[in-house]
Amino acid sequence: MAQRAPLHILAPALLVAVAMVVPLGYLGLRAFQADPQTVMDLVFRERNLHLLINTLKLSFGVLVVTTIIALPLAWLVTRTDMGHRRLLTILGVVPLAVPGYVMAYALIGIGGHYGITAQLFDWQLPRIQGYWGAVAGLSLYTFPYLFLNLRSALLGLDASLEESARSMGHSETAIFRRIILSQLMPSLMAGWLVIGLYALGDFGVVALMRYEVFSYAIFNQYSGAFDRIYAAWLSLMLLAIALVFVMSESVILRRRRLASTGRGVERHAPPHQLGKWRIPAWVFVSVVVLASLGLPVVILAYWLLMAPPPLSFFLEVPLVFARSAVAAMPAALLATAMALPVAYLAVRHPSRMANAVERSAYIGYAIPPLTLALALVFLALNTVTVLYQTLALLILGWALATVALAMGPLRSTLMQMRPSMEEAAHSLGHGPSSTFFNVVFPHLRKSILAALALVFLFCMKELPITFLLAPTGYTTLAVTVFSRTSEGMMAEAAPFAAAIMLFSGLSVALILNREGDRH
Amino acid sequence: MREYSPIHSTAPASTPLLSTRHLVRRFRDADRPAVDNVCFELYRGEILALLGPSGCGKTTTLRMIAGFETPDSGSVLLGERDITNVPTQKRRIGMVFQDYALFPHMTLAENVAFAMTHLPRKQRHARALEWLALVNMAELGERFPEELSGGQQQRVALVRTLAAEPELVLLDEPFSNLDAGLRERTRKEMRELFKKTGTTVILVTHDQAEAMTMADRIGVMRQGRLLQVGPPQAVYREPADAFVAEFLGHTNLLEGEAAGLSAATALGPISLNTQAHGPVTLSLRPEDLALVRSEDPDSAIIVDREFRGHDYFYLLARGDSRYCAIVPNHDPLEVGARVRLQTAGEASVLPDEGRSQTQH
């Protein structure tokens, strides 16, 4: 039973929605400033078709590879007698701690004439790059999103469906294909959507792997060729692809409404006996862990220990770290402050409008980061020019990209909190602010901290938005790793990459902790 | 003979404490309003029960009075003051929630002190303990809600509501989370407490026994409408329609042909509570039926029997019709026995709307 939302919730929530939409408006505005002939030239270039094909090829490749990794892994840790489930689950999630550009750094560090194979064994492997390099770099750090989704879906699966199919005489493979897989479809789609959006939006991996897709081209146009109208059009095209991804997920899921999995099923199917498949299963798991975690650790260890850069590089780390943190902290505060009214509105006062506002908060998260950053550049240049090239704009960009992230913990705590608490406070004579500070806030304290931490950690390793919006010379950890890697300065990048990995390990610990709370 | 219009004969000496006027609340996607034109008045010190099945709109009505819901139309008056658009915290209306809504991060004393916004901060703790003492829980003041039993939590919730010194207390299904034995005792204690403190109360419940034991007046609701308001005895004896009759306990609904103060029915002539003429639907309570052993082929047969301690509840069949009767427990009758049904009291005439109801 919903009550109409009070103004002090509604107004800031609407403001967040406006903040999400307005920059995109400016992007469109800028794109349509060009005369029609130029627009035709820009849009119907052969090069765009090439970029489109490459972008789709990359997304498709990443989806296939992540599925090949995540589906068996999730099945092994949930439905078999493999053992060490907790450890394997953690190992399946930790690769989230490796940002794409660090993964690319690790892959690049294998081959080429400054790769470790050349340095250690005098045996030069070709430098890993291009399509397969990009697919590998993206897949190895994004598969946990799919793994987590599939794992919780498999855990929630009702055993009776399988058992009744078995009693009808269907084979195990038929059961997997027709019962389990169709039940997993919603989680598979949700995971694919997240990974697909990452593949579209990623900039670090494709740039380091020198694989030409939209986001790489946008960056080149913006920073090198300075053709901002073309960059705007490329961003719009990329945005259109992202939209198609989001919409196709919801269309497919709507048609499959019946296949959605139930929650909180009491009884689980007994684990499958691996038998003679035990060894292949462990080989598979080892390869996944070695590639996704072992590789970056080994490569970083080599550059840090065996061929370390001069000490001065290590001494730079705290300074650059502090510089990243100075912007990341206000961004975390801003994103959490923006997320609070939106989450509150969505949970406590559900309506069609609240739903729209909540969805709008996901815009910043779902759209390719370069598109978002470019939209903010145009917004700043068209309205408050002084904002351009300031930290404030970077902080705003980060906050817009992470409102959805901050909403996660707030939303779930608010959903658990009974609305009668707040109503009781009102009926005892307490107004909205007294109720918030005495009743709501004590419950939200932990989730607010979680939201702050998630956003902070995200910003500390964020690359594309930083690249476009940071003031000149404001190099963060991520930017340092990226630019040194792209120049082949592997040793000089290593201390910074290691710092990021250690630090973002924290964010994964946080996610794992929250996952643990839920089960 | 002098004629009194009902309005004049019940005209109050004072103005009502609470009036609801034509309250309507419609939820999105529902074709029928959840609350449909509800009007009633409540006087100081009275306990009113809103009774009805789930989904009848009683809780929504309560929430509009509390200010958690805004009516689509109609108004709520507290005394002379229109509070329809006054926020909850300024209404001085307290509410005890079904789930008690104690703040889990505050001790019991803090919970109660939180209600005393009208007192200086220094006095609150001592006053809170006094309130807790009223329900014999002063020594538990430093405990947290989760350490208490359901019955204790409920008492704290009640005392916390009273501590805000509201004009009116609303209770939303207050006993539904208590087990049966505790429920009866709590009901009695609570009624005594309310009468002692002169508290005005609206209670929402789907349990007719609860409504009848707690309330001075009962309002029966169905599908958003308030069907009848009156003292429990009156609503029970003279239900406004078949739904009210059946909701307030078992009844026999009979079709008959009325002529003045009596009607011809399948059970023979029955005396009526009021003058009527022509075809009527009657409600005859099971305790107003007496059973007499009979081998007459036209007699009824006992199809079921329920021992209820002080009496027996019988289900009877006669032809296609079913009847129920409540008879004191001496001389029990067996299932399968044949009996003649004898009326031992007045039947109440239901208004025309009730005529389409099936026989019981």
Return the pLDDT at A262.
43
% pLDDT > 90, chain B:
54
Residue B358's pLDDT is: 38
**The pLDDT of residue A3:** 58
Phi-psi region of B92 (alpha: psi -120 to 50; beta: other; left: phi over 0): left
User: Which tokens is A503 given?
Assistant: 């630090």
- Residue A314 CA to residue A493 CA, distance in Å, equals 10
> Biggest alpha carbon distance in chain A?
78
Indicate if B315 and B199 belong to the same structural domain.
Answer: no
CA separation for the pair B184, B186 (Å, rounded): 6
The residues in B 203-262 lying below 8 A from A, measured between CB atoms, are: none
Angstrom distance (rounded) from CA B141 to CA A2: 34
Domain extents in chain A? 1-26+308-519, 47-213+275-307
Q: Which residues contact B302 (CB under 8 A, 6 or more apart)?
A: B291, B314, B315, B316, B333, B334, B335, B336, B337, B338, B339
The answer on B262 and B181 residing in a single domain is: no
Whether residues B261 and B232 fall in one domain:
no
Closest CA to A261 of A408, A341, A358, A162: A162
Give yes or no on whether A1-26+308-519 and A47-213+275-307 have one common fold: yes
B209 is a domain residue = yes
Domain harbouring B89, CATH code = 3.40.50.300
Strand partners, B348: B283
Using alpha carbons, select from B51, B62, B57 the residue that is nearest to residue B243.
B51
Q: Are B170 and B96 in contact (CB under 8 A)?
A: yes
CB contact under 8 A, A428 and B70: no
Q: Based on the fold, state whether residues B269 and B218 are members of the same structural domain.
A: no
Domain edge (last residue) among B243, B277, B300: B243
Q: Tokens in use for A14? A: 């609407």
Choose among A294, A290, A275, A293: nearest CA to A82.
A275
B28 touching chain A per CB within 8 A? yes
Q: Please say which residue of B181, B215, B243 terminates a domain.
A: B243
- Confirm or reject contact between B283 and chain A (CB < 8 A): no
Residue B113 Cα, gap to closest chain A Cα (Å) = 10
B183 domain residue, yes or no: yes
User: Collapsing DSSP states into helix, strand and coil, what is residue A165?
Assistant: helix
Residues of B in contact with A3 (CB under 8 A): 68-70
Tell me the HSE value of B334 on the side-chain side, using a 13 A CA sphere. 2
Q: Is the pLDDT reported for residue B360 higher than 50?
A: no
CATH of residue B296: 2.40.50.140
Q: What share of chain A is helix, strand, coil (3-state, %, to 5)?
A: 80, 0, 20
Per-residue pLDDT at A135:
95
Q: What angle do CA A284, A289, A290 make, to 5 degrees?
A: 95
ipTM for the predicted complex = 0.77
User: Distance between CA atoms of A238 and A27, rounded to whole angstroms?
Assistant: 12
Encoded tokens for A82: 């493999």
Phi, psi of B76 (to 5 degrees): -120, 130
Q: Helix, strand or coil for residue A379?
A: helix
Residues A192 and A26 sit within 8 Å (Cβ to Cβ): no
Q: Cα–Cα distance between A339 and A320 in angstroms, integer?
A: 28
Residue B313 pLDDT grade (very low, low, confident, very high; cuts 50, 70, 90): very high
- Is B4 a residue whose pLDDT tops 50? no
Q: Which residue of B has its CA nearest to A429?
A: B89
Residue B304 domain boundaries: 254-356
Our count of domains for chain B comes to 2
**B78 in the same domain as B144:** yes
- Does the distance separating the beta carbons of A423 and B88 come in below 8 Å? yes
Judged by a CB distance cut-off of 8 A, whether residue A383 touches chain B is no
Is the separation of the CB atoms in B237 and B221 below 8 Å? no
B105 and B216 share one domain: yes
Q: How far apart are CA A325 and CA A342, in angstroms?
A: 26
Asked if B202 has any chain A CB less than 8 Å from its own CB, the reply is no
Chain B residues closer than 8 Å to A420 by CB: 97-99, 101
Instruction: Report domain A47-213+275-307's class.
Output: mainly alpha
User: Is position B342 within any domain?
Assistant: yes
pLDDT at B278 over 60: yes
In the prediction, which pLDDT does A155 show? 83
Report yes or no: A460 and A325 within 8 Å, Cβ to Cβ: yes
Based on the fold, state whether residues B189 and B111 are members of the same structural domain. yes
Residue B4 lies in a domain: no
* Contact call for B28 and A418, based on CB within 8 A: no
pLDDT at A247: 85
Among the listed residues A400, A398, A403, A513, the one whose alpha carbon sits nearest the alpha carbon of residue A461: A398
Q: Is the pLDDT of residue B53 over 90?
A: yes
Going by C-alpha positions, the residue among A51, A371, A29, A97 that lies closest to residue A211 is A51
Residue A356 Cα, gap to closest chain B Cα (Å): 16
Query: Is a pLDDT exceeding 80 seen at residue B44?
Result: yes
Own/partner long-range contacts of A259-265 (Cβ < 8 Å, ≥24 apart): A259/A182, A259/A183, A259/A185, A259/A186, A260/A186, A261/A153, A261/A156, A261/A157, A261/A158, A261/A183, A261/A184, A261/A186, A261/A187, A262/A156, A262/A158, A263/A156, A264/A156, A265/A156, A265/A157, A265/A158, A265/A159
Say yes or no for a CB contact (<8 Å) between B103 and A424: yes
Reported as a single tens digit per residue, the pLDDT across A195-221 is: 999 899 888 899 888 899 998 888 888
Closest to A421 (Cβ–Cβ): which among B101, B166, B170?
Answer: B101
Same domain, B153 and B127: yes
| Residue B3 CB-half CA count within 13 A | 1
Answer yes or no: do B230 and B301 share one domain. Answer: no
Scanning every residue of chain B, which has its alpha carbon at the shortest distance from the alpha carbon of A421?
B101
B30 touches chain A (CB under 8 A): no
pLDDT digits (tens, 9 = 90+) for B236-265: 989 988 999 999 889 999 999 999 899 999
Say how many C-beta atoms besides its own lie within 10 A of residue A350's C-beta.
Answer: 14
Cβ atoms of B244 and B220 within 8 Å: the answer is yes
Q: Examine the pLDDT at B221 and tell me if it is beyond 90.
A: yes
Whole-number pLDDT of residue A226? 66
Pairwise CB contact (< 8 Å): B97 & A430: no
Cα distances (angstroms) measured from residue A52 to each of A28, A29, A38, A45, A230 = 20, 23, 20, 11, 15
Interface size, chain A vs chain B, as Cβ–Cβ contacts under 8 Å: 75
Does B62 share its domain with B168? yes
Residues in B touching A421 (Cβ below 8 Å): 101, 103
The fold for domain A1-26+308-519 equals: MetI-like fold (1.10.3720)
Which residues of chain A fall below pLDDT 70? Answer: 1-4, 225-226, 253-269, 511, 514-519
Q: Verify whether the Cβ–Cβ distance B63 to A418 is below 8 Å.
A: no
Distance CA A151, CA A281 (A): 17
Residues B204, B66 share a domain: yes
Q: B212 and B147 in one domain?
A: yes
Among A349, A428, A433, A440, the strongest candidate for a mutation testing the B interface, having the largest count of B CBs within 10 A, is A428
Whole-number pLDDT of residue A39: 81
The residue type found at B18 is L
Q: Residue A418 and residue B99: Cβ atoms within 8 Å?
A: yes
Report how far residue A304's alpha carbon sits from residue A314's, in angstroms, rounded to the nearest whole number: 10
B175 or A269: which leads in pLDDT: B175
Please indicate, yes or no, if residue B278 is contained in any of the structural domains.
yes
Find the mean pLDDT for residues B267-276.
90
Express each pLDDT in B71-114 by its tens digit.
999 999 999 899 999 988 889 999 999 888 899 889 999 999 99
CA torsion angle for B28, B34, B39, B41 (degrees, to 10)?
A: -110
Kindly determine whether residue A4 and residue B70, on different chains, have CB atoms separated by under 8 Å: yes
Q: Which pLDDT belongs to residue B109?
A: 94
Query: What's the 3-state SS for A253-312?
Result: HHHCHHHCCCCCCCCCCCCECCHHHHHHHHHHHHHHHHHHHHHHHHHHHHHHHHCCCCHH
Q: Spell out which residues of chain B touch residue A438, defining contact as CB-CB under 8 Å.
A: 103, 114
Q: What are phi and psi of A370, to 5 degrees?
A: -65, -35
Question: Are A490 and A111 within 8 A, CB to CB?
Answer: no
B307 interfaces chain A, CB cutoff of 8 Å = no
Instruction: Tell me the shortest Cα–Cα distance from A16 to chain B, in angstroms.
Output: 25
Q: In angstroms, rounded to a whole number, what is the distance separating the alpha carbons of residues A411 and B298? A: 68
Cβ pair B66:A423 closer than 8 A: yes
Instruction: Say yes or no: B121 contacts chain A, CB-CB below 8 A.
Output: no
Interatomic CA distance for residues B108 and B129, integer angstroms: 9
Tell me the C-alpha distance between A131 and A346, whole Å: 41
Domain boundary among B214, B243, B272: B243
How far apart (Å, rounded) are the C-alpha atoms in residues A22 and A158? 45
